[in-house]
Amino acid sequence: MKIEKGLLYTQDHEWIKVEGDSALIGITDFAQSHLGDIVYVELPGEGEEFGKGEAFASVESVKTAADVNMPAGGTVEEVNEALSDDPALVNSDCYANWMIKIALSDAGDLDGLMSPEAYEEFASKEE
């Protein structure tokens, strides 16, 4: 299981990379490996607003479908359009192939998210 440094993680297996007032969001290696081969990713539109914990996307694999939730609230600034054409990019490198970039609405939403070390311990118990 690959876990990137410099990111924060949720118990629902999403990651967030904060860059100033913006952040990139995606799913973890744990999530993509348990989903299997991803065949479809439904992403929101730019300008849409979501609160912490709200579903902003859905991912479909050959095995199942799953919602992807916001690790922190914000407004969608950018969507990774490459995933619409090739959803399997998430399987090849889930950290390089982020889903959305948001403008953070409240940095306090980051409180309570897990460090890479804490997430590794958490995810290892879910195996």
Query: Is residue 12 a contact partner of residue 119, using CB atoms and an 8 Å limit?
Result: no
- Spatial CB neighbours of 4, under 8 Å, sequence gap ≥ 6: 15, 95, 116
Give the type of residue at 39: V
- Bridge partner list, 15: 9, 26
pLDDT at 126 over 90: no
Tokens standing for residue 64? 């199942």
- The pLDDT score that the predictor gives to residue 127 is 75
d(CA 88, CA 123): 22
Quote the pTM value: 0.96
Tokens standing for residue 9? 């993680």
Question: How does pLDDT run across 33-81, given as a tens digit for each residue?
Answer: 999 999 999 999 999 999 999 999 999 999 899 999 999 999 999 999 9
